[in-house]
Amino acid sequence: MTTSKNDQLFERAQKTTPGGVNSPVRAFRSVGGTPRFITHAEGPYFWDADGKRYIDYIGSWGPAIVGHAHPEVVKAVQDAATRGLSFGAPTEAEIEMAEEIVKLVPTLEQVRLVSSGTEATMSALRLARGATGRDKIVKFEGCYHGHADSLLVKAGSGLLTFGNPTSAGVPEDFVKHTLVLDYNNVAQIEEAFANFGDQIACVIVEPVAGNMNLIKGTREFLQALRDLCTKHGALLIFDEVMCGFRVALGGAQELYGIKPDLTALGKVIGGGLPVAAFGGSTALMSKMSPVGAVYQAGTLSGNPVAVAAGMTTLKLIQQPGFYDKLAASAKRLADGLTAAARDAGIPFCADSVGGMFGLYFSETPPNNYAEMMAGNRERFNIFFHHMLDEGVYFAPAAFEAGFVSAQHSDEVIDETIAAARRVFARL
Ligand code: PMP
């Protein structure tokens, strides 16, 4: 019998929950071993059921940008909770939240609050189809946009292949409307529009991709998407659920100066509670129910406790120098790990943008899904487990982006790099 509480909890969890987890990557399937069951978190750290402390580089997969259990966020949540948990009627706090998001994200005039990134992208897609009267959508291999049916499609290998479902249970009838292309490939998207331009409702993209490790969209690629959508009357959707408020205060659209028609947001805007949003121009958003004919709704949308966490987080990230420090921390980590690997003779590189980073067991950063898949996954898995033993928690899959928070001080980063030096020497 194992004496590890994590092991015991994992065994118990698997009896009543598929795979023992409520979201697949948490199960450590890719890296092997027992998932850590978390008891509490503070600043850059969390602790598992065996009492071990980890420096956390996931931050709940993005939301924990100001660090875990930030006192001001916790206080706002407590205060809101005492006034009632959910009303199913509008509140002033929702107006403030919408005003704040619209102020910060360059292209937004109106937003609708929802409870998950999946809802945000799914609804943006429905709006794009409703607004254009077209069915086809374009996505890129390796970009994840939540688990709505038509988005759970990965690329076939050939040019302009219509997608195959990557999930059982997605009807072919949905999949046939999803065109999957290579990320950062301008020639392919030009050809797609040349062939199907009058049928494409929208192009949805992670402008900075964080679901196939970290891969930056090139300016040329994103500008081509913008120009082609404009030319053919399709809508450009930036899925900024991950990169919004993460790569810059105004998200990737501010960083690149490229204007999408619709934007999906999540993660950071909830500060760790379920808030997400989608938005665009007033003209487009006026097509949403109850003003327009595109339906979307939610019992807990704009939930007052979640909005309190989100709004407080949005205030904290506007403190002067917040993003400079965040970006410097991610870069310090990326540079430090790269140097440590070089000294150990391990083929490795790392990159960062704002508070996101990528770790690659390859000589150069990947530019698309295929290049990313060519990285050395086995070596990552060994690295991951050794780092875990050292008290550093990276994403438990070879090809996920990582995140730093405002609480990842230079000391915390340097402690991580020192641990990595020990680990690289053993690889
Ligand atoms: N879009 C992107 C870019 C994401 O990274 C995610 C989640 N990782 C989603 C959509 C889906 O968000 P959620 O998990 O909140 O449904």
The tens digit of pLDDT for each residue in 106-156 reads 999 999 999 999 999 999 999 999 999 999 999 999 999 998 888 887 633
Share of the chain above pLDDT 70, in %: 97
- 258 and 386 co-located in one domain: no
**Domain limit, last residue, from 286, 316, 346:** 316
Contact (CB, 8 A) for 118 and 278: no
* Ligand 1 close to Cβ of residue 251 (< 6 A): no
Q: What is the pLDDT of residue 168?
A: 80
Q: How far apart are CA 282 and CA 300, in angstroms?
A: 23
- 312 and 324 co-located in one domain: no
- Taking phi first (over 0 means left), then psi (-120 to 50 degrees means alpha), and beta for anything else, what does residue 298 get? beta
Q: What is the pLDDT of residue 354?
A: 98
* Ligand 1 close to Cβ of residue 211 (< 6 A): yes
**Domain limit, last residue, from 316, 333, 355:** 316
Range list of H helices, 109-241: 117-132, 172-175, 186-196, 219-232
Residue 242 belongs to what domain range? 71-316
Q: What is the pLDDT of residue 44?
A: 98
- 142 and 215 co-located in one domain: yes
Q: Compute, in angstroms, the gap from residue 8 CA to the centroid of ligand 1.
A: 30
Q: Does residue 426 register a pLDDT over 70?
A: yes
ipTM above 0.90, yes or no: yes
Identify any residues that bridge with 68 across adjacent strands, giving them in sequence order: 43
pLDDT, tens digit, for every residue of 347-384?
Answer: 999 999 999 999 999 999 999 999 998 999 899 999 99
Q: What is the pLDDT of residue 149?
A: 86
Q: Tell me which of 48, 56, 182, 239 is the catalytic residue.
A: 239
Q: What is the pLDDT of residue 163?
A: 47
Range list of H helices, 319-368: 322-344
Q: Does residue 164 register a pLDDT over 70?
A: no
Residue 175's CB is within 10 A of a number of other CB atoms, namely: 18
- 173 and 234 co-located in one domain: yes
Q: Compute, in angstroms, the gap from residue 116 CA to the centroid of ligand 1.
A: 7
The DSSP element (H or E) to which 16 belongs, if any, is helix 5-16
**Could you confirm whether 198 is annotated as catalytic?**
no
Q: Read off the CATH number of the domain in which 366 is found.
A: 3.90.1150.10
E strand intervals along 310-407:
349-353, 356-360, 392-393, 402-403
- 38 and 114 co-located in one domain: no
Which has the minimum average pLDDT: 173-182, 245-254, 416-425? 173-182
Q: What is the pLDDT of residue 166?
A: 65
- 277 and 204 co-located in one domain: yes
pLDDT, tens digit, for every residue of 265-324?
Answer: 999 999 999 999 999 999 999 999 999 999 999 999 999 999 999 999 999 999 999 999
**Could you confirm whether 259 is annotated as catalytic?**
no
Q: Read off the CATH number of the domain in which 247 is found.
A: 3.40.640.10
pLDDT, average across residues 397-409:
94
Q: What is the mean pLDDT of the chain?
A: 95
* Ligand 1 close to Cβ of residue 144 (< 6 A): yes
Q: Tell me which of 136, 139, 216, 267 is the catalytic residue.
A: 267
Q: What is the pLDDT of residue 311?
A: 98
**Domain limit, last residue, from 316, 337, 365:** 316
pLDDT, tens digit, for every residue of 197-242?
Answer: 999 999 999 999 999 999 999 999 999 999 999 999 999 999 999 9
Contact (CB, 8 A) for 56 and 46: yes
Identity of the amino acid at 85? L
* Ligand 1 close to Cβ of residue 118 (< 6 A): yes
Determine the number of helices (DSSP H) and then strands (DSSP E) in the chain. Answer: 14, 18
- 78 and 224 co-located in one domain: yes
Identity of the amino acid at 263? T
pLDDT, tens digit, for every residue of 59-114?
Answer: 999 999 999 999 999 999 999 999 999 999 999 999 999 999 999 999 999 999 99
- 237 and 108 co-located in one domain: yes
C-alpha triplet 91, 306, 64: angle, nearest 5°? 145
The tokens describing 203, both together, are 């192009």
pLDDT, tens digit, for every residue of 29-69?
Answer: 989 999 999 999 999 999 999 999 999 999 999 999 999 99
Q: Does residue 159 register a pLDDT over 80?
A: no
Q: Residue 106 has what DSSP assignment?
A: T
- 284 and 336 co-located in one domain: no
Report pTM: 0.96
Nearest Cα residue to 26 out of 43, 6, 45 = 6
- 52 and 147 co-located in one domain: no
**Could you confirm whether 239 is annotated as catalytic?**
yes
pLDDT, tens digit, for every residue of 315-351?
Answer: 999 999 999 999 999 999 999 999 999 999 999 999 9
- 33 and 125 co-located in one domain: no
Q: What is the pLDDT of residue 154?
A: 65
Nearest CA to ligand 1 atom 5: 242
- 350 and 307 co-located in one domain: no
Q: Does residue 28 register a pLDDT over 70?
A: yes
Burial 41-60 (b: 16+ CB within 10 A, else e): bebbbbbbbeeeebbbbbbb
**Domain count across the chain:** 2
Q: How far apart are CA 154 and CA 78, in angstroms?
A: 42
Q: Tell me which of 144, 256, 323, 360 is the catalytic residue.
A: 144
Q: Compute, in angstroms, the gap from residue 119 CA to the centroid of ligand 1.
A: 9
Q: How far apart are CA 330 and CA 350, in angstroms?
A: 10
